[in-house]
């Protein structure tokens, strides 16, 4: 006999392995939104009336982030989306077309920026040049640094009180494990649902910090949110993170709840660590004026290296 929802008499359509959770469509949507609201409330992610700018790629995570922030805060806080075109043909252009459509449907103002306009090169160019360099840095290493720089610069121009991203529980578990295995304690301590901005940096928030990726997909489908799902970035497989993604997936399948306990453990480490976390060493880049721990920021150094590469 089909199992019933734990909240009502309807047939359950989703069952979550880490707890006695079985839900019908309606109660799963409710359960998911409640958890996001709890993350926002307990970590004080959003202040009254401040503007929230959401970094929106067109994928499921940022789509759900934008949808829920707009649902929860749309009447009390200005919400805008920031779209970044890294210049990855047949991938980001398609994803951003979905993003623009959703923004229009949800009546959310958006601004679109591109690597090409900002740095004079696309990710396609950067990946080709990066591949030729010694040590072969992955395309994602460049992409991440350049994207973070555009996000911060334009979120500031848009007068954002907070910059929201779609990072989910899987991403954060991977980051914790990666930093542990790299013995990078400083970076480990910076992981969390909210990163307080250093000088010149818009504070970043992750409302989906406690949401497993699979549940985000289920939520998007059940809530009728359209997102770009046909295809992956062609450079994705270069990243070290992929090995961690696979590892986390295997462990979670075998030991349900392991992702929750990993971020819970990090929280305890942070609460028990007196060490200054952080951003204290961050100053301003001499070239572009964005936050930097050295005289010239990582993004400026990368662009210089890439434009010099033949
Ligand atoms: S997979 Fe890597 S290169 Fe592709 S969009 Fe993501 S970070 Fe950029
Ligand atoms: Zn139900
Ligand atoms: Zn710079």
> Which segments within 33-166 are labelled E, that is strand?
52-55, 79-85, 110-114, 162-164
The three-class DSSP label of residue 284 is: strand
Report the C-alpha gap between 109 and 267 in whole angstroms: 35
Which ligand is located closest to the Cα atom of residue 296?
3
- Residue ranges lining ligand 1, Cβ < 6 Å: 86, 123, 139-140, 143-144, 233, 235-236, 239
Whole-structure pTM over 0.85, yes or no?
yes
Contact 212, 31 (CB under 8 A): no
Pocket test for ligand 1, best of 130, 232, 239 (most atoms within 8 A of CB): 239
Domain 37-308 has CATH 3.20.20.140: no
- 133-155 pLDDT tens trace: 545 677 888 899 999 999 999 99
| Of the candidates 112, 92, 109, 106, the residue with the CA atom closest to the CA atom of residue 234 | 92
Report the C-alpha gap between 157 and 150 in whole angstroms: 11
pLDDT band at 276 (very low <50, low <70, confident <90, very high): low
Return the residue whose CA atom lies nearest to atom 4 of ligand 1.
233
Contact 302, 144 (CB under 8 A): no
Contact 50, 33 (CB under 8 A): no
Could you tell me the residue ranges of all domains in the chain? 37-308
Return the residue whose CA atom lies nearest to atom 3 of ligand 1.
140
- 92-133 pLDDT tens trace: 999 999 999 999 999 999 999 999 999 999 998 888 877 655
> Who has greater pLDDT, 2 or 141?
141
Residue 142 CA, ligand 3 centroid: distance in Å? 14
- 48-75 pLDDT tens trace: 999 999 999 999 999 999 999 999 999 9
DSSP letters spanning 163-214: EE----HHHHHHHHHHHHHTT-HHHHHH-SSEE---TT---EE-TTTT--HH
Report the C-alpha gap between 63 and 55 in whole angstroms: 9
Pocket test for ligand 1, best of 128, 136, 144, 171 (most atoms within 8 A of CB): 144
Pairing state between β 194-195 and 14-16: unpaired
Return the residue whose CA atom lies nearest to atom 5 of ligand 1.
233
């Amino acid at each position: 006999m089909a199992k019933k929802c734990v909240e009502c008499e309807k047939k359950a359509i989703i069952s979550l392995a880490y707890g006695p959770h079985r839900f019908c469509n309606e109660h799963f949507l409710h359960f998911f939104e409640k958890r996001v609201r709890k993350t926002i409330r307990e970590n004080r992610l959003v202040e009254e009336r401040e503007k929230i700018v959401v970094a929106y790629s067109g994928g499921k995570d940022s789509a759900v982030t934008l949808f829920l922030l707009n649902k929860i805060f749309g009447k009390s806080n200005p919400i805008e989306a920031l779209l970044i075109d890294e210049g990855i043909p047949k991938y980001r252009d398609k994803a951003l077309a979905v993003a623009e459509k959703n923004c229009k449907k949800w009546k959310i103002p958006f601004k679109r920026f591109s690597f090409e306009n900002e740095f004079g090169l696309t990710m396609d160019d950067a990946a080709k040049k990066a591949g030729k360099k010694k040590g072969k840095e992955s395309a994602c290493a460049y992409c991440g640094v350049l994207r973070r720089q555009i996000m911060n610069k334009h979120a500031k121009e848009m007068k954002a009180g907070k910059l929201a991203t779609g990072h989910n529980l899987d991403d954060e578990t991977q980051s914790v494990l990666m930093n542990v295995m790299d013995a990078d304690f400083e970076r480990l301590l910076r992981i969390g649902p909210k990163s307080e901005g250093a000088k010149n940096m818009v504070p970043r928030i992750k409302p989906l910090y406690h949401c497993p990726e699979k549940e985000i997909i289920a939520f998007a489908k059940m809530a009728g949110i359209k997102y770009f799902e046909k295809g992956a970035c062609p450079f994705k497989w270069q990243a070290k993170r992929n090995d961690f993604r696979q590892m986390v997936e295997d462990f979670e399948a075998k030991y349900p709840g392991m992702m929750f306990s990993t971020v819970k453990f990090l929280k305890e480490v942070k609460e028990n660590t007196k060490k200054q976390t952080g951003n204290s060493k961050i100053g301003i880049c001499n070239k572009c004026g964005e936050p930097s721990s050295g005289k010239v920021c990582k993004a400026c150094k990368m662009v210089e290296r890439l434009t010099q590469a033949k």
